[in-house]
Amino acid sequence: MRYIHDYENWWRFRYDSDRVLNVLGRVRAKQGVVLGRMLSLGFDSQDEAAVSNLSLELVRSSEIEGQQLSLEEVRSSIARRLGIDTAGLVPVSRYVDGVVEMQLDATQNYDKPLSHERLFGWHNVLFPTGMSGLYRINVGKYRTEDMQVVSGAMGKEKVHYQAPAAARVLDEMERFISWINGNEEIDAVLKAAIAHLWFVSIHPFDDGNGRITRALTDMLLARSEQCRKRFYSISAEIKVMQKGYYDVLEKTQRGNGDITEWLLWFLRCFEQALDATENTVATVMRKVAFWECHRNVIFNERQRKMLNLLFDNFFGKLTSGKWAKITKCSSDTALNDIKDLIGKGILTKTAEGGRSTNYILVESNP
């Protein structure tokens, strides 16, 4: 089986310019509209949108790799590092702080050159213990063994991709980094799409290649906008389109260097991420307005945490049982917290009663 990197000068990717540029023009126009709209918001709204989308980006990027991060921890870490005053900050683990550090370095320092050392630093924060699950891996250095992307049960594995031999990795990465830092005449969004495919095809690390690939993609998209604030999450859309993502990657990596279908898929994914900012803007405006309206109201930390969750990422109906479980308090304490918010006119009961009693924000009540 020949893979994309088995061809001579494989990095000189080819694509159908007419098909790609037709879609690119539409997506770039939408990108400009979204960026303009977000930058026209007040600073508080911009900060809230940036924190929300960066948080979503990291959580979804980890989910693609089968790893669950706490959205609250990620939000708190980002807000602290950006110096943003956010209600309901929670303690953060060393690992989450490290992942946030990688993402912020990629997006806040988008204009800094890429280097081996910078990539090694990102890899170090992904694996602070030197372990990936139960296995020790090379951390902060390129892999020294050959690499396959496989799926399936033991004994019935399916090989999706064979990466370049370990002996080639340093030369491949030298070429890749030089291209990233170069000034070739190529649209910045297309450069992000090509870099995504190129890096994940080299697969230079023992583990963490997908997360670093997506951080690099965000770095180059930030360059395309000359903006350190992220107002959309491409990883969230990749997660939604995960099967298609892996299918088009595998097809392209088994091809002969024509990356047209990959570029078209990436642009569609990016466009959906831009479209999703409509929901982000609406949520952000509601949340900012809520906290501004209630800036003189006294809340305890449990109440702040749950109110933020109602805006950010709460699924299903809010009950006293869920409140107690999420805030790690007793049922009586949860009910007292809720009754206090009802008395302040912030929560109200729905029509359902008995064991089905649940609550919603007064401002969202029809």
Residues 198-212: pLDDT tens digits? 999 999 999 999 999
The count of domains in the chain is 2
Output the pLDDT for position 316: 72
**In the predicted model, what is the mean pLDDT of residues 211-223?**
96
* Angle subtended by helix axes 17-39 and 43-64, to nearest 10: 140
Please indicate, yes or no, whether residues 9 and 149 belong to a single structural domain of this protein: yes
Please indicate, yes or no, whether residues 132 and 213 belong to a single structural domain of this protein: yes
Does residue 285 fall inside a structural domain?
A: no
CATH of residue 195's domain is 1.10.3290.10
Kind and range of the H or E run holding 150: strand 148-151
Output the pLDDT for position 18: 96
Highest mean pLDDT among 25-39, 83-97, 112-126, 150-164: 112-126
CB 222 within 8 A of CB 35: no
**In the predicted model, what is the mean pLDDT of residues 96-106?**
93
Output the pLDDT for position 313: 57
Residue among 107, 40, 22, 21 nearest 281 (CA): 40
**In the predicted model, what is the mean pLDDT of residues 131-155?**
87
Output the pLDDT for position 353: 61
Stretch among 194-203, 212-221, 266-275, 320-329 having the lowest mean pLDDT: 320-329
Give the domain extent around 345. Answer: 294-364
From 279, 310, 332, the end of a domain falls on 279
Please indicate, yes or no, whether residues 27 and 67 belong to a single structural domain of this protein: yes
Whole-number Å distance between alpha carbons of 361 and 293 = 13
* Residue 130 pLDDT level (bands cut at 50, 70, 90): confident
Strands 347-349 and 158-162: unpaired
Please indicate, yes or no, whether residues 241 and 313 belong to a single structural domain of this protein: no
Please indicate, yes or no, whether residues 267 and 341 belong to a single structural domain of this protein: no
- Position 64: which residue type? I
Output the pLDDT for position 315: 59
Whole-number Å distance between alpha carbons of 195 and 31 = 19
Please indicate, yes or no, whether residues 326 and 275 belong to a single structural domain of this protein: no
Output the pLDDT for position 89: 66
**In the predicted model, what is the mean pLDDT of residues 22-39?**
92
Residue among 17, 4, 31, 10 nearest 189 (CA): 31
**Residue 363 in this model has a pLDDT that exceeds 70:** no
Output the pLDDT for position 292: 81
**In the predicted model, what is the mean pLDDT of residues 158-176?**
96
CATH of residue 329's domain is 1.10.10.10
**Residue 39 in this model has a pLDDT that exceeds 90:** no
Reported as a single tens digit per residue, the pLDDT across 305-342 is 888 888 765 657 889 998 998 889 999 999 999 999 99
Please indicate, yes or no, whether residues 313 and 212 belong to a single structural domain of this protein: no
Output the pLDDT for position 366: 38
